[in-house]
Structure 1
């Protein structure tokens, strides 16, 4: 599968060099920008697999653009920076989900490993987000089950085990999740 990329760099020659390196590596450059507003619009409109973003873009400051791209989780971001910006970029990388950086000058030997790192960080962040959501869902289900079991124990004089089995059986019989059954029980006894 070819990865779709947006390249945002003010200097046309550098942008072309980056496009050429990425194309040879099998990427498809689906958008180019020479300013931050265009870069953000392209990233939002195309949902690329990678955004290569230089710090020299006119318009919105690059730090703000990186923050927006990271918060919206639009794509992994590889920031191309000058040596003088290295320290502030280290801070961004530590606090961002899917941002990596590369110090200029850009060449094939340093660009492709940096791209791989940005993609790997993004995949890891997406997996962590899925895992966190799954844990939140599990916790919510457990809370619902505990509340429904408590109501069954109180109003139907069941033991905790009986209440759980009752919810489990009802869920299977009705082809619903235990959380859905627990919500129904809570609503029924709440009235």
Structure 2
């Protein structure tokens, strides 16, 4: 995990969190002091993976901003808040998908939580990329099938002839079959539609 935003109005806590994150996760977190500054940053860097909020903030408690993060971004959110307040808002935070850490806490606990989020982010990215590749493959197959059916309908080819035609066309043009299929669809659309 590389894109971490720390939101803390307390300079000492900011530096401690910064040192902890740099030392434990080999990252370069960005630090801001208020929810407003954090929103500006999140709007300009949509790839932020984790937002760590040290409550309270100078312009709000931090709870509303944590909900904003989970509702409006793809980032995970850890809210560092006084233990007694954590108990009061735990159900609300859980519904919003905010991870709460009650203060005071040990570095070991914070490390375990951030590491768990890191693993979850890595897994999610891996699944997203795998899903994107599958969607691309499905789109390619659909395009090739559409070209095949158009060749069968407008050029009276059999399915195997249409398949062979697309493969030959792709080889001759030195293109992927899906790109060749798109070109065939365009040509047939111009002629017959």
Q: TM-score range by the shorter chain?
A: 0.7 to 0.9
Q: Which runs of 4+ in 1 moved over 6 A?
A: none
**Structure 1 residue aligned with 2:139:** 140
Name the CA shift for 1:29/1:130 in 2 (closer, same or farther; >3 Å): closer
| TM-score, scaled relative to structure 2 | 0.77
Instruction: Quote the offset at 1:123 in angstroms.
Output: 1.6
**Structure 2 residue aligned with 1:184:** 183
Q: What are the superposed Cα offsets for residues 117-154 of structure 1, whole Å, 9 maximum, x if unpaired?
A: 11122122222222232222222222211111111112
CA RMSD of aligned residues (A): 2.7
Q: What are the superposed Cα offsets for residues 81-133 of structure 1, whole Å, 9 maximum, x if unpaired?
A: 4232222222233xxxxx64433323211111111111122122222222232
Q: Number of residue pairs matched? A: 181
- Mark the runs of 5 or more structure 1 residues left unpaired by the alignment: 94-98
Write the mapping of 1:52-91 to structure 2, written as runs, cut at 5 A.
Answer: 52-57=52-57, 58-59=59-60, 61-62=64-65, 63-70=67-74, 75-81=75-81, 82-91=86-95
Separation in 2 of the partners of 1:148 and 1:50?
A: 44
- Mark the runs of 5 or more structure 2 residues left unpaired by the alignment: none
Separation in 2 of the partners of 1:180 and 1:143?
A: 12
Q: What are the superposed Cα offsets for residues 8-67 of structure 1, whole Å, 9 maximum, x if unpaired?
A: 123333333322322332544443222112123344556556432235332583111332
| TM-score, scaled relative to structure 1 | 0.77
